[in-house]
Amino acid sequence: MIATRRTVLRIGGVILAGLAGTASGSTGEAAEIAMRGNEDGSDVWYDPVGLHVRPGQTIRWTNHDAGNAHTATAYHPHNAGHPTRIPQDAAPWNSDYLLPGESFAVTLLVEGVYDYFCIPHELAGMVGRILRGGSVRRSQTAQRDHRERFVARCIS
């Protein structure tokens, strides 16, 4: 059997539903990222292109572009041999193709910077970045350690 593009997309949708389920149990309101494109399809982008999320916060991409299918795919060797641009211990994700109106969600367990791309539109510049923050207490500890190191360097 030759899989048509539509069949592949439909299979993608089913896998998607399973993956979206893994996002349950997270806390707080989901952070929304829209997949957009202009009317003639000459420009495509994530909106916002950069995003800060709190620990446990779910990130949800939704395709608001009536003219294109898009993906949200982590920069990682598991995704078509791309370089790793997510934290070392973090799990890569790939939404697969989202048709207009479809959504995909993840919750990032490891703090750090995550870069991701759209498979068919990476070279058109459809890329995004997420900063998954740490806890406020951790951040305060890191700040204090940094200040102490800075002071120690200044007085030595």
Q: By the criterion CB under 5 A, which residues form the site for Cu ion?
A: 44, 70, 118, 121, 126
Q: How far is the CB of 118 from Cu ion (least distance, A)?
A: 3
Distance CA 72, CA 96 (A): 7
Distance CA 31, CA 107 (A): 10
Cβ closest to Cu ion, residue 74 vs residue 118: 118
Written as six digits, the tokens of 103 are 């959504």
Q: How far is the CB of 117 from Cu ion (least distance, A)?
A: 9
Residue nearest to Cu ion (CB): 118
Residue 67 has what DSSP assignment? T
Cβ closest to Cu ion, residue 105 vs residue 126: 126
Distance CA 133, CA 15 (A): 28
Q: CB neighbours of 103 closer than 8 A, spacing ≥ 6?
A: 20, 60, 61, 62, 63
Cβ closest to Cu ion, residue 121 vs residue 132: 121
Cβ closest to Cu ion, residue 64 vs residue 85: 64
Q: How far is the CB of 126 from Cu ion (least distance, A)?
A: 5
Q: How far is the CB of 151 from Cu ion (least distance, A)?
A: 48
Q: Which secondary structure element, helix H or strand E, spans residue 53, and what is its range?
A: strand 50-53
Report CA dihedral (34, 44, 104, 48) to the nearest 10 degrees.
Answer: -40
Cβ closest to Cu ion, residue 26 vs residue 71: 71
Q: How far is the CB of 89 from Cu ion (least distance, A)?
A: 28
Q: How many residues does the chain have?
A: 156
